Chains A and B, each alone.
Chain A
Amino acid sequence: MKLNNKRTSHTITKLSLAFLILFSISVILLGLANPVLDERGSILFLSAFFCTGMPLLFLSATWLAYINRIYFSNIFVWIIFQLFFILIMIGNYYAPLSISLLFTTFLFVLFPLLIIVNFIYSYSNYASLKFIGFGSIGFIWVILIGWLFYGNLIEKMVLALTISNSNHNDLWIMHALMTITACIVIGGIASFFTETIKIFLLEWQEKDHT
C-alpha cells in the first residue's frame, strides 16, 4: 500500500496539534493548581504525559519536518528554526515555573528535531562540510569566549544544576549556542556520510546526482 504523504501529514499535524493543545493546557493548569496536588500526583501526571505524548510529539514533528523538507532546505526557514530554538531556551530559563515546564517539554522534542532539521538542510544543500567545519569551530570558540566572559563555566554549570534558584542564570545563551552548534555538527556528520555514500554510488553508476 502506497503511503499518502499528504493525508498522513494532515492527520499527524491535527493529532499533534490536538495533543499539544491538550498537553499545554494540562501543564498550565497543573502549574496553577500545583498547591492542591501533592508531589506524587503531579509526578505521576507528568510521567503519563511524557511517556505517551513525547514519543508521539517527536515522531509527528520528525514526520512533518521530513514531509516539509523542501521548506527546511531554505536558509531562511533554517535560520528561523534556530532562532525559535533560542526563544524556547530563553523561555525555559526565564518563564515562570508554571510555564517553564512547557518550554522544557518543547526542548526535549526540539533537541532531536534540531538535528533532523540540520540534517535536512545540509543534505539538500550539500552543506555537510560547512556544517561540520563551522559547527565544530563555533562549539569550541563559544565555550572559549564564554569562559573568558563568565569565568569558570564548569563551576557555574554545576551550581546551576544543584542550587534550587539557579534556573535564572546568565548561561542561557551559552547553552543555546552550544546546543545549536553541537546539533549542527551532528546533523552535518550524518548528512556527510549519507551524501558521500550517495555520491560515490551515483558516480559508480554514472548517474547524475541532481
Chain B
Amino acid sequence: MNRLKINIFAFPKLTTALFWLAISALFLVIWMSLSPHLLFYVWPTITVLVILSIREFIMQPERNIHRFKFIPIGDNFPLLQKVVNEKARQLGLKRIPKLLLGEKQNTFYRMGSFRRWYIVVSSEKASLLETQLSNPEKAVLADLQILSVLYPFTASEYWMVGYLAILLKVTFYLVLWGAVFFVGWALLLILIKDSLVYLSSPDLITKVSSEMRPIWEQLSPLSNEFELLKVNDSTTLYFLLSIINIIVPCIALISFLWIFYYPIMLCIQQYYSDAGIAQTLKSTASFWTFFQYAQKLPSIVDLESRRSSFNRLQEWLQNILMGSFFPNAAERLNAIQNPDQVFYQWKQIARFLGTSALLLDMLFYLSGYLMYLANFTTMSIVIVIIFWSLPQIVMKKDVWKDCVIILAAIFGLRTTLAAFVLTILWGIYTVKPSFFEELITVQLYASARYAGTNIPTIIINGTDFLMASFLLNLQQMFLLFVASICFVMAYILLSTRALQWYGFFTTRYRFNIFNMIVIGVFIGLLLTFLILPEFGSGIFAIVGYLTLIVCGVLWIVFMDKRYYKKCPVCKSRIADIQKFDVTCANCQAKVLPWLVAQYETE
C-alpha cells in the first residue's frame, strides 16, 4: 500500500540540532561558572575538554576491545562477512566495518570512532545469522538486523550521539577532579598563608646555617602573590560557596543532559534509522516480518549491554517523567507508517520542554546566573518548537494554537516556580528578617566569587529587594514569553509562505539551508541582545541590525515575487492544494518531490 508519508530526511536533522544545543549549553554553563573572575580559565578548560573528549571517543573502541577481549572474526562466518560487505556497499558507507567476535551471548552491535568502525557479534549470534542468511525464507530477518547495525554509520549523527555521551562523561570527571583538586589547593593556600609570611621572619633565619642565611634573608614574603591568601575565617564560607556555585550548575546540567536529553537523542536516532532502512529497502515489509517472528525489532543500541546500575538509574528517572526510555516495537512500526510521529505530538513536546525548563530553572536557582541561563533555556525551547512545527507546517496543519499553548504552559510553569521561590523568600523575611539578610548577603558574595578580606558592605533593604526581585523576575518571564511567541509566529508565517516557493526549493538541501539560516539569525539576535548585552548597544550594532533586517526583507520579497506558487518546470501558477505532494496541473510535474517518503507500507 502506498500511503502518502512525509520524508523526515527532508527537514533539518533533529539529532544534529539537539547535539549542538547540548554542546552550547555545556560550554555556556562552563563559561558562566567561571565568569567573571576566572574567565582566564574558560578557554584552557574548553580546550582541555575538547581534546580529552575527542581522545576518549577515539579510544573507546580500543578500550572495549581490550576490556571485553574482542577478537577479529578472521575467516569464520564467511557468509555473514559477505552480506555485511554487501549491505555496507548498498548503504553507500565510506568504509566497511570490521567484524569482531564478542564473548557475551546474543551480542550484535556496532561501535567505532570517526574513521574506524566495528561490529561486535557473539559466536552464537553469528551462527544464527548465518543460518538465517542461508535460508531464503528467513534471510530477510538477518538482513534487517545487519541493516539496523550498519545504518547509523551513514549519517553524522552516529558520531554526534556517541561523542555527546563521552563529552558528558569527560566533563563530569573533569568537574569532579577540578572540585577535589582546587578545593585542596585553595585550602592549602589558606592554611599556609601565615607560614609564607613567616618564612622570612627573623626567627627562622636565625635557625638557618650561616652559609644559607644570606639566601633566606633575600626571600620576600609570597603573600601578595595569591588572592586566596587574603581569605580569613569570616570569608572562608564565601570562598567555599563560590566553589559550590561553580560546580553545581555544571553537575546539574550534565545530570539533566544524561538522564533526559541523551535518551531522547537515542530515540530520535532510532526513528531516523528505521525510516532510512525503509527507504533503502523501499518497503516496510521486513519490519513486519521480523516483528511477527520475534515480537520485537532490532534496535540501534544494544539494550542488553546497557543494563549497568547507572543505566538502570537513568532509565528509572526517565520513566518517572518522560514515559518509556526507548520506543517499543509498536511505536516504531507506527512511526514508520506515520513518519510525522517522529516529531511527537504537541502534548509530549509541552511536557518534555516544560519539565526540562522547570528542572533547569530549579537547579540554576542555586547559582547566581539564572538570568543568562533562563535566556538560553528560552532559546532552546524556541528552537525545539520550530523543529517540531516544521513538519506540521509542511503537512498544512494549523500549528499556531498548539505553539501558543506549548509556550504558555512552559512559561506558566516557570513563572509559577519563580513566584514560589520569591514567596518563600517573603515568608523568611517576614518571620526572621536578620536571617533573610544574612542569606542574601552570603549568596551575593558567593555569586561574586568574592574571597578577599576587603568585603564591601552591602546594606540590603529586604522590602525593596523583594519587590525588585518580584518585578524583575516576572517582567523577565513575560518579556521572554512575548519574544518567543513573536519569533515562533514570525517563523510559521515565513515558512508557510516560503514552502510555496516551488521553483526555489528544488532540493531538500536548499530547504534545510534556508531553515538553518532563519534559525541562525534568531540565535544571533538572541545572543546579541540577551546573552551578550554589551555587544547589543551602540549605533553600529543598531545600524548593522537594521541593514540585516532590510536586506532580509528585500530578499524575501524578491524570492516571493520570483518563485511563489510557480512550477519549476513550466513556470505556470499552481493552485492552492491542501496536501504536501503538490503536482502541477499544467505539466503534471511533481513539485517538492523530496517531501514525500519513497517506500511502501503494509
Contact = CB atoms under 8 A, between A and B. Distances in A.
B491 to A, nearest CB: 40
B204 interface: yes
Interface in A140-161: 140-141, 143-144, 147-148, 152, 154-155, 158-159
B114 A203 contact: yes
B187 A203 contact: no
A4 interface: no
Interface string B19-53: 00000000000000000000000000000000110
Interface in B156-201: 173, 177, 180-181, 184-185, 187-188, 191-192, 195-196, 198-199
B184 A144 contact: yes
A3 B65 CA distance: 32
Contacts of A147: 188, 191-192
Given A152-B195, A162-B207, A196 B51 contact: yes
A206 B195 contact: no
B560 interface: no
Interface residues on A, range: 20 to 34
A204 B113 CA distance: 11
B213 to A, nearest CB: 10
Contact of A159 (B191, B199, B207): B207
Contacts of B51: 196
Contact of A126 (B63, B115, B187): B63
Contact of B208 (A133, A136, A162, A200): A162
A79 interface: no
Given A140-B181, A200-B58, A206 B115 contact: yes
A162 B187 CA distance: 28
A202 B424 CA distance: 58
B212 A210 contact: no
Contacts of B62: 126, 208-210
A203 B113 contact: yes
A198 to B, nearest CB: 10
B3 interface: no
B210 to A, nearest CB: 10
Contact of A162 (B59, B181, B199, B212): B212
Interface in B195-229: 195-196, 198-199, 204, 207-209, 212, 216
B52 A129 contact: yes
Interface of A: prevailing SS:
helix
A203 B58 contact: yes
B191 A206 contact: no
A148 B180 contact: no
Nearest to A128: B55
Interface string A145-189: 001100010110011001100000000000000000000000000
A137 interface: yes
B317 to A, nearest CB: 27
Contacts of A209: 59, 62
B116 interface: yes
Contact of B66 (A163, A203, A210): A210
B227 to A, nearest CB: 18
Interface in B293-321: none
Contacts of A144: 184, 187-188, 191
Contacts of B59: 126, 199, 209
Contacts of B579: none
B58 A140 contact: no
A99 to B, nearest CB: 25
B95 interface: yes
Interface in B103-118: 113-116
Given A133-B173, A159-B207, A199-B59, A206 B212 contact: no
A199 B184 contact: no
B137 to A, nearest CB: 37
A195 to B, nearest CB: 8
Contact of B195 (A155, A159, A196, A204): A155
Contact of A158 (B52, B181, B191, B208): B208
A180 B184 CA distance: 18
Nearest to A141: B184
Interface of B: prevailing SS:
helix
Interface centre among A136, A162, A207 (most CB of B within 10 A): A162
A11 B204 CA distance: 52
A148 B188 CA distance: 10
A208 B112 CA distance: 11
Given A126-B59, A126-B63, A203-B115, A140 B185 contact: yes
A199 B207 contact: no
A204 B66 CA distance: 20
A163 B63 CA distance: 52
A195 B262 CA distance: 29
A6 B417 CA distance: 73
Nearest to B173: A133
Nearest to B170: A129
B60 to A, nearest CB: 11
Contacts of B181: 136-137, 140
A196 B177 contact: no
A10 B89 CA distance: 54
Contacts of A143: 188
A31 to B, nearest CB: 24
B181 to A, nearest CB: 5
B184 A137 contact: yes
Given A129-B52, A133-B173, A203-B114, A140 B184 contact: yes
Given A162-B208, A203-B115, A204-B115, A154 B184 contact: no
Contacts of A141: 180, 184
Contacts of B63: 126
Contacts of A137: 177, 180-181, 184
Nearest to B199: A154
Given A140-B181, A209-B62, A154 B195 contact: yes
Nearest to B185: A140
A118 B113 CA distance: 28
Contacts of B58: 199-200, 203
B57 to A, nearest CB: 10
Contacts of A136: 177, 181
B264 to A, nearest CB: 29
Nearest to A147: B191
Nearest to B56: A129
A203 B195 CA distance: 50
B168 to A, nearest CB: 16
Contacts of A133: 173, 177
17 contacts: A126-B62, A126-B63, A133-B177, A136-B177, A140-B184, A140-B185, A140-B188, A144-B184, A144-B188, A155-B195, A158-B216, A162-B209, A163-B209, A196-B51, A203-B58, A203-B114, A206-B115
Given A141-B184, A210-B62, 13 more contacts: A129-B52, A133-B173, A136-B177, A137-B180, A140-B184, A140-B185, A141-B180, A152-B195, A154-B192, A155-B195, A196-B55, A200-B58, A203-B116
Closest 9 CB pairs of A and B: A140-B184, A209-B62, A144-B188, A162-B209, A206-B115, A203-B58, A141-B184, A152-B195, A133-B177
